[in-house]
């Protein structure tokens, strides 16, 4: 039961919270984790918008940052004694939810664990929700790990967080 757990990571505190829950679940099920970081169309467009003349450099920067995020997350999992694989997806063929769904099918995953902000109302309408799209399109069960109430406000006021936070 849930021996193959896919965990999309982006380096944000919310993503790390999802990763920590996946580690706990893998301990209980004697499972292994596959960590996925995606440099997708949206992240590229958002980053490239400010650096239009340097799109090749932006792609390399996003790719290198993704590799570093995966290395840190993988080290966290290995330190917990859990088997882990990492995948850096740098495809311009779809949005995050498409890439997560494709990876879940390809591996094949038995569960997806994802940290989410849990935005509601106008915030969700404006920012969108990759977590919601993954939940709708996933071929396997999805465990959404929501950040605590007020955590986003506290991070914003402290200047914490990752500029490319996705879910």
- The pLDDT value recorded for residue 94 is 77
Q: What is the pTM of this model?
A: 0.81
Give the tokens for residue 136. 């709708």
> Which residues is 144 bridged to in the sheet?
114
Question: Residue 52: its pLDDT value, please?
Answer: 55
Positive or negative CA dihedral for 18, 162, 81, 63? positive
Give per-residue pLDDT as tens, 76-85: 999 999 999 9
Over 50: is that where the pLDDT of 17 sits?
yes
Average pLDDT of the residues in 50-74: 80
Which pLDDT belongs to residue 9?
96
Residue 130's pLDDT band (cuts 50, 70, 90): confident
Look at 165 and 117; give whichever has higher pLDDT: 117
What whole-number distance in Å separates Cα of residue 2 and Cα of residue 163?
A: 31
Q: How does pLDDT run across 104-126, given as a tens digit for each residue?
A: 999 999 999 999 876 555 444 43
Tokens of 150: 């007020």
* Nearest C-alpha neighbor of 1 from the set 18, 25, 21: 25
13 vs 154: CA distance, rounded Å:
12
- The CATH number of the domain covering residues in 4-116+131-151: 3.40.50.620
Average pLDDT over residues 79-103: 90
Distance CA 118, CA 133 (A): 13
Which string of DSSP letters, residue by residue, matches 58-72? Answer: HHHHHHHHHHHHHHH
Q: Which secondary structure element, helix H or strand E, spans residue 38, and what is its range?
A: strand 32-38
pLDDT for position 60? 83
Mean pLDDT of 89-95: 78
Element (H, E) at 114: strand 111-116
Closest to 113 (Cα-Cα) out of 13, 1, 25: 25
Which sign does the torsion angle of CA 56, 61, 62, 67 carry? positive
Does the pLDDT of residue 161 top 50, yes or no?
no
Task: Tell me which of 35-44, 106-115, 131-140 is least confident.
Answer: 35-44
Domain locations in the chain?
4-116+131-151
Summarize the confidence of residues 51-71 as an average pLDDT: 79
């Amino acid at each position: 039961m849930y021996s193959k757990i896919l965990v999309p990571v982006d380096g944000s505190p919310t993503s790390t919270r999802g990763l920590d829950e996946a580690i706990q679940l893998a301990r209980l099920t004697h499972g292994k984790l596959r960590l996925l970081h995606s440099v997708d169309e949206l992240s590229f467009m958002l980053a490239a918008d400010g650096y239009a003349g340097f799109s090749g450099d932006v792609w390399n920067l996003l790719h290198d940052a993704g590799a570093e995020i995966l290395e840190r997350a993988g080290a966290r999992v290995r330190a917990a004694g859990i088997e882990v694989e990492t995948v850096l997806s740098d495809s311009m063929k779809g949005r995050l939810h498409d890439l997560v769904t494709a990876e879940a099918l390809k591996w094949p995953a038995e569960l997806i664990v994802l940290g989410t902000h849990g935005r509601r109302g106008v915030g969700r309408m404006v920012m969108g929700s990759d977590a919601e799209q993954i939940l709708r399109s996933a071929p396997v069960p999805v465990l959404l790990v929501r950040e605590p109430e007020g955590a986003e406000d506290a991070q914003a006021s402290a200047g914490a967080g990752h500029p490319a936070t996705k879910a």
